Amino acid sequence: MNFYPLKFKPIYKELIWGGYKLRNILGKDFPAEKKIGESWELADLPNDKTVITNGEFAGKTLSELLLKYSEQITGQKNYQPPFGLLIKFIDAADILSVQVHPDNQAVKKLKMGHPKTECWYIISAEPNSCIYKGLKAGITKEQFAQSIKGGTCAELLNKVPVKPGQCHFLPAGTVHAIGTGILIAEIQTPSDTTFRVFDWNRLQDGKPRQIHIEQALESINFNQKAEDLPVTTSGRLADNEFFKIDKITAQAGTCEKITKGTMKVIIIISGSGQIISKDSDSVDFAKGQTILLPAVFEGEILFASNTEYLSVTQ
């Protein structure tokens, strides 16, 4: 059995705040009239599993492969589904809700959902774009609860200007929102548990979207400090118990060796090229694609143009 770089069919999410950058900038294939907010590039959730599109395993999900070939894929014995990463591209044509994802402690207390830690890599940002990340110093649970009732909770969040090339770490328990005009690569743990606290008085189909105030207040880390939310721009972008992210840049005409032993997920931010091996067919890659390199795969990456990509390991 030859294991090779795996490509996946994205799952597109049409969302109230979505736009057209995923198609216009990253070359995603969906109808021009669709406002797509998220492209799930690599997913292994109960109701959302991306399907392999190339080679011998085409048509299968990653879960199916892990049941038979966990060590070859991950480098770990008895690695059981679900896969430990969820990779997305996000197009925030409008501002997202103020929200939080729970940590393990909150999940146990609430007896619902799954913990979620994430990183946002800023691919593009319109002038004056910003995100909301964490509470201002000294804000208490009681103060924030009162601000939710008054519709002023965003005023208690840190408003952070963003620019392309930044990586923002958001551990579980961080209250946050993505501002307008930002295209993001999101690396996260495999969870879709989101508790909204404020949605900017927005209506969907004439009705407000569901709000989860009680669950959110139990999930927010009110003791979080600024140093818990680092911003990085080069080299090792993130290093935590769930994933590690490295930013790699390569010049056209160069190559990079891939040694076996460690599974990698690579997210192509810009550029193009080929991944080749003596044991399998070459795999082309281009901007906006996400590829999994099994732990037993070895070969090299040939860069046809100047390329920037994120390398994610566990």
pLDDT tens digits for range 282-294? 999 999 999 999 9
Report the DSSP beta bridge partners of residue 167: 121, 232
Predicted local confidence at residue 77, as pLDDT: 85
pLDDT over threshold 90, residue 100: yes
pLDDT tens digits, residue range 198-254?
A: 999 888 888 889 999 999 999 999 999 989 999 999 999 999 999 999 999 999 999
Name, in order, each residue with C-beta under 8 angstroms of 60's C-beta and a sequence gap of 6 or more: 51, 52
- The answer to whether residue 295 scores a pLDDT higher than 90 is yes
Which residues 6+ apart lie within 8 Å of 247 measured at CB?
121, 167, 233, 234, 235, 237, 308, 309, 310, 311
pLDDT of residue 226: 87
Architecture in CATH for domain 6-231: Sandwich (2.60)
Asked if residues 99 and 175 have their Cβ atoms less than 8 Å apart, the reply is yes
The two domains 6-231 and 244-313 share their CATH topology (first three levels equal): yes
For position 298, what pLDDT does the model report? 96
The reported pLDDT for the residue numbered 152 is 94
pLDDT average, residue stretch 97-113: 97
Question: What band does 135 get if pLDDT is binned at 50, 70 and 90?
Answer: very high
Write down the pLDDT at residue 81.
78
Q: Average pLDDT in the 288-312 region? A: 98
What CATH number does the domain located at 244-313 have? 2.60.120.10
Contact between 173 and 219 under an 8 Å Cβ cutoff? The reply is yes
CA-based radius of gyration for the chain: 20
Which of 25 and 226 is assigned the larger pLDDT?
25
> Residue 147 is inside which H or E element, if any?
helix 141-150
Residues 148-161 have pLDDT tens digits of 999 999 999 999 99
> Residue type at 301?
I
> What would the mean pLDDT of 52-58 be, rounded to a whole number?
97
Rounded to an integer, what distance in angstroms lies between the CA atom of residue 23 and that of residue 312?
A: 24
Give the C-alpha separation, 167 to 58, whole Å. Answer: 32
Q: Find the range with the poorest average confidence among 54-63, 134-143, 202-211, 213-222.
A: 202-211
pTM over 0.75: yes
Mean pLDDT for all residues in the chain = 96
Distance of CA 314 to the CA centre of its chain: 14
Mean pLDDT over 277-285 rounds to 92
Asked if residues 287 and 223 have their Cβ atoms less than 8 Å apart, the reply is no
The yes-or-no verdict on residue 80 having pLDDT over 80 is no
Average pLDDT of the segment spanning 137-150: 95
Question: Which entry of 196, 202, 209, 236 is annotated as an active-site residue?
Answer: 196
Name the pLDDT band for 79 (thresholds 50, 70, 90): confident
Does 119 have pLDDT greater than 80? Answer: yes
* Mean pLDDT, rounded, for 273-287: 95
Contact, 275 vs 289, CB < 8 A?
A: no
Q: In sequence order, what are the beta bridge partners of 44? A: 49
Residue 83: the pLDDT is: 95
At 280 the pLDDT is 87
For 278-284, which contacts have Cβ atoms below 8 Å and span 24 or more sequence positions? 279/2, 279/4, 280/2, 280/3, 280/4, 280/5, 280/55, 281/4, 281/55, 283/4, 283/5, 283/7, 283/54
- Is residue 209 among the annotated active site residues? no
pLDDT of residue 232: 98
Where do the structural domains in the chain lie, given as residue ranges?
6-231, 244-313
